């Protein structure tokens, strides 16, 4: 269970370094997002480029982060979620809440909109 965090132009980027975003990993991601939001982070990108699979608990962690940031006038964006993950997001009808971008530049600039 690993995450790499970096800051770029005031935006926090969390890279999930696991192949699975499931019930083993999602509690740690939720905790990380909670800590960041309480420390004042308002713009977070979650890099899913190494994640091949996500289940409902992983989706729940992403939605938790989105709601947590929204409560402090912040935003969460996804980066490089694969088609399998996007299909899960579409089935849950959450594509309007969990915006996905295929490259880092687009994800970062989306906060300016």
CATH classification code of 3-112:
3.30.750.24
pTM of the predicted model, to two decimals?
0.94
Q: Using one digit for the tens of pLDDT, what is the confidence trace for 68-94?
A: 999 999 999 999 999 999 999 999 999
Please provide the DSSP assignment of the chain as one string: --EEEEEETTEEEEEE-SSEESTTTHHHHHHHHHHHHHTT--EEEEE-TT--EE-HHHHHHHHHHHHHHHTTT-EEEEES--HHHHHHHHHTT-TTTS-EESSHHHHHHGGG-
Q: Is the pLDDT of residue 113 over 90?
A: no
User: What residue ranges do the domains of the chain occupy?
Assistant: 3-112
The pLDDT mean for the chain works out to 95
Q: Is the pLDDT of residue 2 over 90?
A: no
């Amino acid at each position: 269970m690993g995450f790499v965090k970096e800051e770029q132009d005031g935006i926090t980027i969390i890279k999930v370094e696991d192949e699975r975003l499931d019930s083993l990993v999602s509690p740690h991601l939720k905790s990380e997002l909670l800590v960041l939001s309480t420390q004042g982070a308002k713009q977070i990108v979650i890099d899913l480029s190494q994640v091949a699979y996500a289940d409902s608990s992983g989706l729940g962690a992403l939605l938790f982060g989105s709601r947590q940031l929204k409560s402090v006038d912040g935003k969460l964006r996804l980066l490089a979620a694969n088609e399998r993950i996007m299909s899960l997001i579409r089935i849950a009808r959450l594509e309007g809440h969990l915006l996905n971008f295929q490259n880092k530049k687009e994800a970062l600039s989306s906060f300016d909109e």
